[in-house]
Amino acid sequence: MRKNVFFLLMAGVLLMFTGCSKEDTEPEVKLPSVAKDSVLVNVPKGLKQSSDPFAQWVVNFFDGLNGIARYANSMSPPHGAASFHSDVAGAVAYTWSDGSVTYWFVYHEENGKCIWRVDADFGEGKEQYIYGEESCDGKNGMLDVKLPGEGDYHASWQYNDQNVLTFTIESTYNNMSVTLQGVVNPDGSGHADIKTGDTIVLTVTWNADGSGSYKLYTSYPPHEGSWSND
């Protein structure tokens, strides 16, 4: 696993993350339901090709949303990691190094809950890096990512009986907080609001066919835009 995290400020307020890359995983470790090959929602092709000057801001929104899947997908050891004894009964535990960084990974199941923890030493001692919990039926979960000197990331999610995903992502940087809240439907469509505190900065709605629209509240009246599925 390599630490590969960047912060992108959108008009001074929108904060987004990338995730960690990894090699093939050991078979006994279960991944969270939101891992999904590091992608929850594909960035619409029409949006990426849009001539709208604010389109890149909306692309960054999709990147931020997919941070849930990227971080969840990173909660497993790389192939060849060394096992070690954990104080947690019945846990699967591995450690490995990537360059100057050392990682310790512990996974266990308890009372119907799957629990992941990744500690890391980035040069200042062993600290919690990623912590995740999910009901083992995959219906709801959460994860925390702590990046010393950079910021914190927290996400929670829930799937209802119709497989609609409801999510909340909170990230902080230099005492600034940004929140993404929304839903992703089984057909891939969805809607989300991006807020700083109680103030809505951006709303994004996307359709199953790849088209969508947004409203940006950094001006008055708000700026509105859309993209096709081409």
DSSP for residue 25: B
99, two tokens:
């360059």
> 3-state DSSP call for residue 40?
coil
What is the reported pLDDT for 99?
92
What is the reported pLDDT for 8?
33
What is the reported pLDDT for 13?
33
Task: List all residues 6 or more positions away from 72 whose beta carbon is below 8 Å from its beta carbon.
Answer: 31, 32, 34, 35, 132, 143
pLDDT band for position 116 (50/70/90)? very high
Cα(213)–Cα(81) distance, integer angstroms: 44
Q: How many CB atoms lie within 10 A of CB 152?
A: 14
Cα(190)–Cα(48) distance, integer angstroms: 17
Cα(149)–Cα(130) distance, integer angstroms: 15
97, two tokens:
């190094």
The per-residue pLDDT for range 60-104, each reduced to its tens digit, is 899 889 989 999 988 889 989 999 999 998 899 999 999 999 999
> Is it the case that residue 197 has pLDDT exceeding 90?
no
The per-residue pLDDT for range 134-192, each reduced to its tens digit, is 999 999 999 999 977 778 899 999 999 999 999 999 988 777 889 999 999 999 999 99
47, two tokens:
């949006």
What is the reported pLDDT for 219?
86
What is the reported pLDDT for 134?
97
The per-residue pLDDT for range 1-60, each reduced to its tens digit, is 444 333 332 333 333 333 343 444 344 788 999 998 788 998 888 998 888 888 988 998
What is the reported pLDDT for 97?
95
> Is it the case that residue 195 has pLDDT exceeding 90?
yes
Cα(7)–Cα(178) distance, integer angstroms: 12
What is the reported pLDDT for 22?
42
